[in-house]
Amino acid sequence: MIETNLAPLAHSRMNETQRGLIIVTTGPGKGKTTAAMGTALRAVGQGLRVLMLQFLKGSWHYGELDAVKAFGDNFVMRQMGRGFVKVGQEKPDPEDVRLVEEAWGEAVREIASERWDLVILDEINYAITYHMLDAQLVIDFLKSKPEAVHVILTGRNAHPGIVELADTVTEMREVKHAYQKGILAQRGIEY
Ligand code: ATP
Ligand code: MG
């Protein structure tokens, strides 16, 4: 029989003082947003208060929007976009930029308010990559954020400056994805 003890993998020492971490999940493989939500679930279970702001999302109805209602004010999720972004143009659509700026304003207010222990900025990396949000602005704010607040930033192509600033960075590698076989997005798995 093989025995494994995963506890040391997680932490060799536990710490009761909350030291806010900056965490990034990036890369082309599936699992960035759902990893952030998994962390959120763990946090809520420990009595922490979690806010997830979804940059760029808005048109699809994700299962998690209904699921988090069960947690009341302890886990709140807000869609801040319109669900699609026109990319590949020279300049981003001004309406997308406006929505991203609004979402960023909300992120700053909420993180600074210290009402939340964990704030997830979902897909913010895309907003930065597509020049809808200035990376330096985000970096400067994160450097001055309240000490105890954890922040998770998700989305492909995380900006190098954000990767450098972050404490924990995980890159999802795509080995394969059902989409490549022509299998369309599955309810409960993709949305
Ligand atoms: P998830 O929300 O499932 O954790 P993600 O956050 O890693 O995915 P995004 O880049 O935000 O992925 O893309 C969102 C959508 O695209 C999801 O429906 C996801 O399943 C799908 N997706 C993610 N990676 C791939 C891929 N490599 N090929 C095709 N579709 C993908
Ligand atoms: Mg995502």
Q: What is the pLDDT of residues 22-70, one digit of tens each?
A: 999 999 999 999 999 999 999 999 999 999 999 987 778 899 999 999 9
Instruction: Give, for ligand 1, the residue of 23, 25, 26, 30 to mutate: max count of ligand atoms closer than 8 Å to Cβ.
Output: 30
Q: How far apart are CA 167 and CA 101, in angstroms?
A: 25
Report the interhelical angle of 135-143 vs 94-113 (nearest 10°). Answer: 0
37 alpha carbon, closest ligand: 1
Q: For ligand 1, is residue 140 a contact (CB within 6 Å)?
A: no
One-letter amino acid of 113:
S
Ligand 2 center to 180 CA (angstroms): 18
Are 26 and 171 spatial neighbours (Cβ–Cβ below 8 Å)?
yes
Over residues 11-21, mean pLDDT: 79
Which residues sit with Cβ closer than 5 angstroms to ligand 2, an ion?
A: 32-33
List the Cα angle 177/190/160 in 5-degree steps.
70
Question: pLDDT category, 168, cuts 50, 70, 90?
Answer: very high
The class that CATH gives domain 18-83+93-181 is alpha beta
Over residues 106-110, mean pLDDT: 98
What's this model's pTM, rounded to 2 decimal places?
Answer: 0.91
Can you spell out the DSSP letters for 136-176? Answer: HHHHHHHHTS-TT-EEEEESSS--HHHHHH-SEEEE---S-
Higher-confidence position of 93 and 83: 93
Which residues, at least 6 apart from 175, have a Cβ–Cβ distance to it below 8 Å? 29
Lowest mean per-residue pLDDT among 15-19, 82-86, 100-104, 119-123: 82-86
Residue nearest to atom 2 of ligand 1 (CA): 33
Q: Which atom of ligand 1 is nearest to the CA of 172?
A: 7
Q: Which atom of ligand 1 is nearest to the CA of 27?
A: 7
Radius of gyration of the chain (CA): 17
Q: For ligand 1, is residue 170 a contact (CB within 6 Å)?
A: no
Share of the chain above pLDDT 70, in %: 89
pLDDT at residue number 4: 64
Q: How far apart are CA 33 and CA 54, in angstroms?
A: 10
Q: How far apart are CA 162 and CA 133, in angstroms?
A: 13
Q: For ligand 1, is residue 174 a contact (CB within 6 Å)?
A: yes
Over residues 118-128, mean pLDDT: 97
Q: For ligand 1, is residue 30 a contact (CB within 6 Å)?
A: yes
Q: Is the dihedral of CA 74, 112, 98, 126 positive or negative?
A: negative
Q: Quote the longest CA-to-CA distance of the chain.
A: 61
pLDDT at residue number 146: 97
Q: How far apart are CA 21 and CA 89, in angstroms?
A: 35
Ligand 2 center to 115 CA (angstroms): 24
181 alpha carbon, closest ligand: 1
- CB contact burial 130-150 (16+ within 10 A = b; e otherwise): bebbebeebbeebeebeeebb
Question: pLDDT category, 91, cuts 50, 70, 90?
Answer: confident
Are 103 and 81 spatial neighbours (Cβ–Cβ below 8 Å)?
yes
Residue nearest to atom 22 of ligand 1 (CA): 30
